[in-house]
Structures are given as structure tokens and as C-alpha cells.
């Protein structure tokens, strides 16, 4: 009988857990043929469309949840490789000509005012959901979870090129 009472008892989730339920269901559709004025085919020759994730494209639940998380952004403008040129890191979703979908992180370098050139890109195939950038102390991190200790990686300049470095989490 005690087991039945435990099963029937209501479960009280914390406010944090209730507020982050959107993370499992937030989805985005690829609709654009250009990203930051760059044709998607120049980013990846297999792509048909892509779309940047922006605050305006989020659900109201996501906007409320992120309202006090200032380090989580969708675009970072900084000189990430310290070459004197402005760089921009963004996140988005893509769909290939064959129907493959996924998320991406893109770093571009400004060549002329408002003109960008691809410097680095990482794709994550799968259902195109929420990802964000976490920018702190000059480090751009790629996140898709707020309650996890791990991330998708940090964008690192190695002197000649960018890479995405994933630091293993020790438990």
C-alpha cells in the first residue's frame, strides 16, 4: 500500500525544472538561403537552407528562462583571434539538399564593413533544437544544456585556425 501511495503522490518539480522544459521541445526551421550575407552553399556545399537562432525566434518560455542568464547569447562580436579584425560567432540550424538537419556554430571574419568571410564552422547533425553561445572572459562556448556540466565545446584559436575543443567532465 505504501508503494501505491508513493506512486500516486504528486511530484513537485522545482521552478528551475519547470522553466527549462522548453529546452527539450524548442525547434527551429531552416528557411534562409543566406547567413550573414553568405550563401549557404558557400558555408557547406550540401546545404539547401539555414537559419540563425536569435532571441526573436525563441518561444516565450525560452525568453523568460534566459532573461536572467546574461552570459548566454546567440551572437558574439569580438576579435577572437587577435588579428585586429572583428570576428562574429553565431549559432543556427541547417537543412541539407538530401534532408539532413542539424545545428551549427559559425565563426566569420569581417573583411569590409558588413562583409563576412567564413573562418570556422562546426555542424551537429540531428533534430535542430536550441543551442547558444556562452561568452565569458574571451572564451566562446557552445551550449545546448543549462543543467549539464558539459558543453558542446569551446572555440579556440590555435595560431593558424580555429577548432572546437571539448573538455571532458570528470565525475
Structural domain boundaries in the chain: 14-165
Contact between 53 and 92 (Cβ < 8 Å): yes
Contacts with 16 (C-beta within 8 Å, 6 or more apart), sequence order: 147
Residue 55's pLDDT is what?
Answer: 87
For the chain, how are helix, strand and coil distributed in percent, rounded to 5? 20, 40, 40
The dihedral sign for the CA sequence 161, 88, 110, 137: negative
Residue 118's pLDDT is what?
Answer: 97
Contact between 143 and 66 (Cβ < 8 Å): no
**Residue 126, by phi and psi: left (phi above 0), alpha (psi -120 to 50) or beta?**
left
Q: Is the pLDDT of residue 18 over 60?
A: no
* d(C-alpha 38, C-alpha 40), whole Å: 6
Mean pLDDT of 18-22: 56
CB atoms within 10 A of CB 22: 18
Q: Mean pLDDT: which of 41-50, 132-141, 144-153 is highest?
A: 41-50
Confidence band for 20, pLDDT divided at 50, 70 and 90: low
Confidence band for 153, pLDDT divided at 50, 70 and 90: very high
The dihedral sign for the CA sequence 77, 144, 32, 155: positive
Write down the pTM of the prediction.
0.82
Question: Which triple of cell numbers denotes residue 97?
Answer: 539538399
* d(C-alpha 103, C-alpha 123), whole Å: 6
Residue in 2, 110, 99 with CA at minimum distance from that of residue 49: 99
48-96, pLDDT tens digit by residue? 999 999 888 887 888 887 788 777 899 999 999 999 999 999 999 999 9
| Residue corresponding to grid cell 559559425 | 106
Amino acid at each position: 500500500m505504501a508503494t501505491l501511495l508513493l506512486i500516486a503522490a504528486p511530484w513537485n518539480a522545482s521552478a528551475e525544472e519547470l522553466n527549462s522544459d522548453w529546452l527539450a521541445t524548442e525547434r527551429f526551421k531552416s528557411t534562409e538561403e543566406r547567413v550573414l550575407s553568405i550563401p549557404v552553399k558557400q558555408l557547406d556545399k550540401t546545404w539547401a537552407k539555414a537559419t540563425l537562432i536569435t532571441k526573436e525566434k525563441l518561444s516565450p518560455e525560452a525568453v523568460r528562462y534566459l532573461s536572467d542568464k546574461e552570459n548566454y547569447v546567440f551572437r558574439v562580436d569580438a576579435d577572437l583571434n587577435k588579428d585586429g579584425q572583428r570576428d562574429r560567432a553565431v549559432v543556427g540550424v541547417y537543412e541539407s539538399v538530401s534532408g539532413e538537419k542539424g545545428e551549427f556554430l559559425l565563426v566569420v571574419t569581417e573583411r569590409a564593413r558588413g562583409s563576412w568571410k567564413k573562418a570556422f564552422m562546426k555542424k551537429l547533425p540531428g533534430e535542430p533544437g536550441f543551442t547558444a553561445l556562452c561568452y565569458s572572459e574571451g572564451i566562446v562556448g557552445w551550449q545546448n544544456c543549462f543543467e549539464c556540466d558539459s558543453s558542446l565545446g569551446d572555440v579556440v584559436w590555435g595560431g593558424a585556425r580555429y577548432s572546437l575543443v571539448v573538455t571532458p567532465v570528470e565525475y
